[in-house]
A and B are shown apart, each in its own frame.
Chain A
Amino acid sequence: MSETILQIKHLSKSFGANIVLRDIDFTVAKGDVTSIIGASGSGKSTLLRCINLLETPTSGEILYHGENVASRKVNAANYRSHVGMVFQSFNLFNNMTVLENCMVGQIKVLKKNKEDARKEAIYYLEKVGMAPYINARPRQISGGQKQRVAIARALAMDPEVLLFDEPTSALDPEMVGEVLTVMQNLAQEGMTMLVVTHEMAFARDVSTQVVYMNQGVICEQGTPADLFGNPQRQETRDFLSRFRSN
């Protein structure tokens, strides 16, 4: 078994009286592509945001190479620089060009020099097919293009894990493909990924592990073949059948 990168233990999160996540447990090993599926409001995105410490877990542990990053003593910024995140709404920096978006983190956080940062940024932009657009500003490119730049920006930080928070949900249908292709390529190259998605085909064909969440708990998890081919729980079957009929 390969090296464990992230281990989530008994993670819970509530907003006031509203309990969003209950006792979540799962492990991400190097090279895993984990898809988190489930209905809207099941806590998938909150889970991902907790893992990147954008939300503070109410209780439980997030172990990154054995160190609990959910504790107050940990430097969140430093941890986040090792864990990339791609958002549903892209969140590219509007005051910068495509190239600057991919360079700023390397220069300010990783303290690289400009020339190295530029090379690295262009390498990854090329990888997502956005190299010709380095001089464009976020408002000048399409949603699919923005998301590919956002992926390049995350990759340029050379992260150990990439978190995707519904990366295709805000896109027009004809742009979903280009983003999924990029993600699929990354998976094939061995990138460790944790993907919250509504794209069942992606979850089934690309991931190595699927987590089905329902009402704040992990209802079922397993390999795509098991979960899609032979779901054990009634809730899982109901959820999947709704997708098939659509």
Chain B
Amino acid sequence: MEKIFQLGADIAKLWEKYASSYFSGMYSTITLALLCTLVGCLIGLLCGILQTIPSSKNDNIVKRCVLLVIRGFVRLYVEVFRGTPMILQAVVIYYALPYFSDNAVKFTSIWLAAFVVVSINTGAYMAESVRGGIISIDPGQTEGAKAIGMTHWQTMTNVILPQALRNILPQIGNNLIINIKDTSVMSIIGFTEFFAVHKTVVGATYLYFPSAAIEMVGYLTMTVIASVILRWVEKKMDGADSYELAQVDALTMSAGTYRHPAKPEDLLERNLEHERGK
């Protein structure tokens, strides 16, 4: 019991002195995670779309070659950035520029460096999620769109992607939450996010556990809020559970669910009206 009070006192002490540091760390973490998830999704979307452009034997050779090169490139990108630790990617990208240019070119802002690394990393994961989302949509949806004369691009933007995005929304949520936590490895290149604050604080106070406790609660708060918001968005995207019957005009009152063939003269008159309306 005594220890619990001790912990409370230590946390209070840290909070009093470092609250603003913790808050600014949280702010950096959440901003970086949100931005990078957003940009990562866009990269993933682009890769997913590029990878699912159909090619058939009837296409000309140039188009087929270009598609092949694009697919190869995307595949390479995904394998490299999904297959190596982000902490190493950060080091490699951050130090590669000055190394090759003899310090002439380097990231002027740690922010930019962290942003680039996390975005590219997220994009690699999202590329696969988006591709999976696209190929999971029933081929009948594509055929329905083609049958009314839509092009591949129109089919994608109007029919397939809205459904695919809805289906991968849980994946996007996963990535946001992973990013909130994993941006902590950006402290390796000196980015001062939430976890970096912890390192600074314990360096000065040696209160390892109390500070870690604050961090735990902080991270959990951010991730829980993120998942609540995402659930809400998912529900929003599904639309209402019920629908209202519309009364378009008096004629539909009699339509109900089953319309018997009208008397020929009625039908004729309505067709004429329609023609006039055109």
Contacts and interface: CB of A to CB of B under 8 A. Distances in A.
Contact of A129 (B246, B258, B277): B258
B149 A93 contact: no
Which of B144, B154, B252, B257 counts the most A-chain CB atoms under 10 A from its CB?
Answer: B144
Contacts of B271: 189
Top 6 A-B pairs ranked by shortest CB distance? A81-B149, A91-B144, A129-B259, A105-B148, A85-B147, A91-B140
Interface stretch (A135-143, A193-201, A222-230, A238-246): A135-143
A189 B100 CA distance: 75
Given A89-B140, A134-B248, A178-B258, 12 more contacts: A80-B146, A85-B147, A87-B143, A87-B144, A93-B158, A95-B159, A105-B149, A105-B150, A123-B277, A135-B246, A157-B148, A189-B271
Interface residues of B, number: 41
B75 interface: no
A131 B144 contact: no
B248 A80 contact: no
Interface stretch (B110-118, B227-235, B237-245): B237-245
Contacts of A19: none
Contact of A93 (B141, B251, B267): B141
A184 interface: yes
Nearest to B271: A189
A227 B271 CA distance: 34
A54 B140 CA distance: 11
A83 B115 CA distance: 50
A76 B258 CA distance: 35
A155 B141 CA distance: 18
Nearest to B154: A108
B145 interface: yes
Q: How large is the interface on A (under 10, 10 to 19, 20 to 34, 35 or more residues)?
A: 35 or more
B54 to A, nearest CB: 12
Interface string A48-91: 00001010100000000000000010001111111011010111
A213 interface: no
Interface of A: 52, 54, 56, 72, 76-82, 84-85, 87, 89-95, 97, 104-105, 108-109, 119, 122-123, 126, 128-129, 131-137, 140, 145, 150, 153-154, 157, 178, 181-182, 184-185, 188-189
A77 B163 contact: no
B244 A104 contact: no
Given A119-B277, A137-B243, A184-B261, A157 B58 contact: no
A122 B146 CA distance: 22
Contacts of B256: 129, 132
B151 A77 contact: yes
B56 A56 contact: yes
Interface string B168-203: 000000000000000000000000000000000000
A71 to B, nearest CB: 10
B239 A137 contact: yes
Contact of A94 (B141, B146, B148): B141
B85 interface: no
B257 A129 contact: yes
Contacts of A126: 248, 251-252, 255
Contacts of B242: 140
B151 A87 contact: no
Nearest to A109: B149
Contact of B144 (A93, A123, A188): A93
